[in-house]
Amino acid sequence: MPQSFFFAAWKHGIVNLKCSVFGMVTKRTTVYELHLPGYPFNEKGRMYRSIVLVKQVPDTANITGNVMQDDGTVNRAKLPAILNHEDRIALEVALQVKDQYGGTVTAITMGPPRASDILRECLYMGADHACLITDRKFAGADTLATSYVLSEAIKKIGGFDFIFAGRQAIDGDTAQVGPQTAEKLHIPQITYLEEIRSVNGRTVEAKRKIEGGYEIVRCTLPVLITVVKDAASPRPFKAKRVMAYKGARSLLELEKLAEGNSLLSVEELVGEYEGRSLLIETMTMDDLRLDAARCGVHGSPTKVHKVQSVVLSGGEHEIIEPTKTDIGKLIDRLFEDHILG
């Protein structure tokens, strides 16, 4: 066990740590019991409240160098937008917790107004609530600025037991937002989740993927969990929910609907949609009272210098015959190139 883990355990008030390892690495099972005092946990039998972090990402199958802007950020308007796949898996895991143990699921995303599209998809799958965090001042945010905004939004929502997120987004591949958000919320985290094995009172037992095997981790709530793509198969949209929520709108969409129409009032529209449970909650920088220096480009020390499309093409090749002589020559060359040895 690395010393950094023990330091983190001491730093976060973990009072019980248990580990058991069995034989071969492919069958290794490591059990950690993490207890973080001072948080309002659910009592046994109560329903669990889950928040799922989702992201609208560009379809990277169609990305080219032409979408890069001069400041190193991606012009997302030039690309088709989709729900990040691992976030969809995270939503499925949250819904499975709800199905088995009861509770509610809230999907939240930080992005431009059109990110409401993926929140509607979350509602179609089974999410109970949706929240759009949007502001022009958030544009160009890296993982540090994004996790700051998300953590503040989560604090405002409050009352959560689980936070689920995909391991990483396909547009950045950093796998940093989930762990950074947990750090800012001062809660434990379980990364690379493959399976929720059980939830018992204030304790969750989970199986997480590691190189060469897996770990079984027990942790007290609240906890942030990042999910790998093989953790579950996302359920299809429910026809009844599609019909019920296809008209769900965010505040910005209602404002656009009322533009130029003197017969429509934004306040009346908000009241109507809220009464029909079709209002997607909207949070802006002012709503969250955020520090502008920590948001968007100003709060993002990471800069993307260049995005380049790489095409792999074949070059010279040599056929190695399955003979003792040719295989021996191949092994000698691998040693010469320091690929072996």
Position 320 in a domain: no
Supply the pLDDT for residue 263: 80
Position 317 in a domain: no
Position 237 in a domain: yes
Position 196 in a domain: yes
Dist CA 125 CA 21 (whole Å) = 38
Supply the pLDDT for residue 69: 65
Q: 250-288 b/e with 16+ CB inside 10 Å = b?
A: bbbbbbeebeeeeeeeeeebbeebeeeebbbbbbbbeeb
Supply the pLDDT for residue 299: 85
Instruction: Per residue of the chain (341 residues), give pLDDT as tens.
Output: 444 443 344 333 333 333 333 333 334 445 554 444 434 344 445 689 999 999 998 876 666 656 666 655 566 667 788 999 999 999 999 999 999 999 999 999 999 999 999 999 999 999 999 999 999 989 888 889 999 999 999 999 999 999 999 998 887 778 889 999 999 999 999 999 999 999 999 999 999 999 889 999 999 999 999 999 999 999 999 999 999 999 999 998 998 888 877 788 888 899 999 899 999 999 999 999 998 999 988 888 887 776 666 666 777 778 888 999 988 888 888 888 888 86
Position 327 in a domain: no
The whole-model pTM stands at 0.74
Ranges of H-type helices in the chain: 3-11, 85-101, 116-125, 143-157, 177-185, 239-245, 251-258, 266-275, 285-288, 324-336
The SS3 assignment for 275 reads helix
Judge if the upstream peptide bond of residue 112 is cis by omega within 30 degrees of 0. no
Host domain of residue 187: 3-299
Kindly report the CATH number assigned to the domain that includes residue 131.
3.40.50.620
Position 332 in a domain: no
Position 244 in a domain: yes
The SS3 assignment for 74 reads strand
Q: How far out from the chain centre does Cα 246 lie?
A: 24
Position 326 in a domain: no
**Which residue, 250, 328, 260, 306, is CA-closest to 70?**
306
How many domains does the structure of the chain reveal? 1
Supply the pLDDT for residue 169: 86
The SS3 assignment for 79 reads coil
